[in-house]
Amino acid sequence: MEPSHKILLFGANGQVGHALAPLLSGLGNVVACTRADVDLSDRAVLADAIRALVARERPTILVNAAAYTAVDRAESEPELAETVNAIAPGAMADAACDAGACLVHFSTDYVFDGEKTGPYVESDPTNPLSVYGATKLRGEQAIARACSRHLILRTSWVFGAHGGNFLKTMLKLAQERDSLRVVADQIGAPTAAALIARSTTAMLRAVAASPATDPRWGLYNLVAGGETSWHGYARYAIAKARDMGWPIRVADDAIAPITTAEYPVAARRPANSRLDTARIRATFGLDLPDWTAGVDEVLSALQCQQTS
């Protein structure tokens, strides 16, 4: 019989947290925390609040699915992004270490500059282009320093049926407009929150009770299989939705590919967001299906929500 854990989940209302909560319950008792429980944006009190919460709940696993993810707004709110993405994870790592717990944390492809020609491996040099990417990198570094029993999972282009994301925005616009313009020169792997949740739970089932000397602790890339551009992603999702009977207005040939330069935003994005998943697949035997499978799954879930 596997050990029953006490799991403290931060960011339970987010895309990944929402997908994680029911799956983590298979490992033990989950305490789901939202901003109402601990305000990770309040730098003055967050360390004490996290430490008090950990002391009260005495978890064996901390999972941080909370983040400041407004990539463009972070350029004008760097201190807030730093607090949520770097200082709070560091405080969680300190508390986890003191409590003898392990910590799972989610990071991003945006820690890279996108100039590599092939997919990034975990050991490649980082060089974030944005405030968001830089703060997420500092969060990784703070965790690695403070808590040896950690899993840091870099993912990309996250979407799900819960919360706001690119997929849901494209579906909304496709039902309202006659034409769309979508960036086609940034490449990555759209990754479903459900896939992240399933993979994270499987990894924890394997290592949560392991000592710090277990070589499986550490940094991993966790993304869906395959690759596409934002334009390819939008075209696939809209065509699939049309086939499923959604009232799509925009025609396939009216979804125009554009360059990053033609769609100016505050924060720079990496042109190459591809992440190599060989390490996580070899270490944990994970099945990471093509990104289209996740899109199909979410479209079905959204359709069920509309008809229920």
pLDDT digits (tens, 9 = 90+) for 83-116: 999 999 999 999 999 999 999 999 999 999 999 9
Mean pLDDT score of the chain, rounded to an integer? 96
| pLDDT of 3 over the 70 cut | no
Say if 247 falls within a structural domain. no
Q: What's the pLDDT score for residue 93?
A: 98
- Is the pLDDT at 32 greater than 60? The verdict is yes
Q: How many separate domains does the chain show?
A: 1
Query: Which residues are catalytically annotated?
Result: 132
pLDDT of residue 169: 97
Q: Which residues contact 187 (CB under 8 A, 6 or more apart)?
A: 227, 228, 229, 271, 272, 273, 274
The reply to whether 68 falls in a domain is yes
Kindly report, residue by residue over 204-257, the tens digit of the pLDDT. 999 999 999 999 999 999 999 999 999 999 999 999 999 999 999 999 999 999
Residue 184 inside a domain? The answer is no
Q: Is residue 246 part of a domain?
A: no
In a domain, 124, yes or no: yes
pLDDT at position 1, please?
A: 42
| Encoded tokens for 58 | 């005495």
Judge whether 122 lies within some domain. yes
Contact 67, 73 (CB under 8 A): no
Residue 89 neighbours by CB under 8 Å, 6+ apart: 64, 105, 139, 140, 142, 143
| CATH code at position 132 | 3.40.50.720
Q: Is residue 61 part of a domain?
A: yes
User: Would you call 214 exposed, middle or buried from its count of C-beta atoms within 10 A (0-12, 13-18, 19+)?
Assistant: middle
What is the span of the domain harbouring residue 116?
5-165+190-226+275-289
Share of the chain above pLDDT 70, in %: 99
Q: In terms of Cα–Cα distance, which of 294, 305, 150 is closest to 219?
A: 150
Per-residue pLDDT averaged across 24-50, rounded?
93
Task: Tell me: pLDDT of 308 over 70.
Answer: no
Q: Give the span between the Cα atoms of 138 and 86, in whole angstroms.
A: 5
Whether 33 is in a domain gets the answer yes
What's the rounded Cα separation, in Å, for the pair 59 and 44? 24
Q: Which pLDDT score is estimated for 257?
A: 98
Residue 56 or 308, more confident: 56
